[in-house]
Every structure is written in structure tokens, then in C-alpha cells.
Amino acid sequence: MVSKTSQLKNNVDGYLDVDGHKLQISDRIRRAIRRSGGNAVVSEKSGVNLKTVSNYTRGHSEPKIISLSRIAKVCGVSIDWLATGEGPKHLGDAPDLLDMEVLKVSITIAEEIFEGKGFSPEDKAKIIIIIYEKGLEEKAKDC
């Protein structure tokens, strides 16, 4: 016999509980925080008091919007999903976060810069971000 706990753990999307009901906000907060290192880590990174974070994860209090926003950002999840269970769960799942046209041009320019040079992956990422941001500025000027 499969326990409810193991059924809950097997719910990959994190949208429904074992009975098929949408997770409560405290459940979504608890899961996001667990995947991000736990209450203490998220509390420290978000600036939300540890006791407050614990109260949210246990369902003892409803989160304030500013705290929810900070927790969502630290955990890399959408505030909409965290608050309501609706919409894309992860920030990267949301459409139109990046201008793909500008990103493609930025990567092409960066590849020319990187050719034959020993940049670290971190330095490459920083360079691509700088080029991308400049590309967005130029595109905004053209509009």
C-alpha cells in the first residue's frame, strides 16, 4: 500500500495534493523553501524573519505581499504561483521574460569576443548580460 506521504512526494508538478486538490499557500511556500535550502537559508536571503517564515510554512499566518515577494524571488518561483497556485511555477517558465531577438544577437557578438580566449563561464555570463542590456537600451532608443 502506498502512503499519502509517498504519493505527495511523487507529485512532480507540485500543483495538487494526493486527493487532487490544489495545494494551500502554506504547502506551496513550504515546498519552495525546502527546495531552496530550508527556512533559515530563505529567511537570511530574503530578509524575512525566521519565525515569520516558519509561521508561513506551517500555515499559522497568511504572508504579507512584500514577504511573499521576497520569498518567491529567493526561491526562484513566480509570486503568482506561490500566492494562488495559478500560472507558471518557475520564473523561467514565464513567457516573454527575455527579448529573444536581442538575446540571439548578444550571444552572436559574445561568441566573437570569446573566440580563442580563455574566459571562465562566470565571465562569459557577465559579458553576455552586459551585451544583452546594451542591446535592450539600443532597441528602446529605436522605438
| pTM summary value | 0.52
When pLDDT is cut at 50, 70 and 90, the band that residue 138 belongs to is confident
- Same domain for 11 and 64, yes or no, is yes
Q: Provide the pLDDT for residue 70.
A: 94
- Same domain for 12 and 60, yes or no, is yes
The residue segments making up the domain with residue 27 are 4-93
- Same domain for 87 and 119, yes or no, is no
Summarised one tens digit per residue, pLDDT across range 7-62 is 444 343 444 444 545 568 899 999 999 999 999 999 999 999 999 999 999 989 88
> Which amino acid, residue 80?
D
Q: Is there a contact between 67 and 39 (Cβ–Cβ < 8 Å)?
A: no
For residue 5, pLDDT over 60 is answered with no
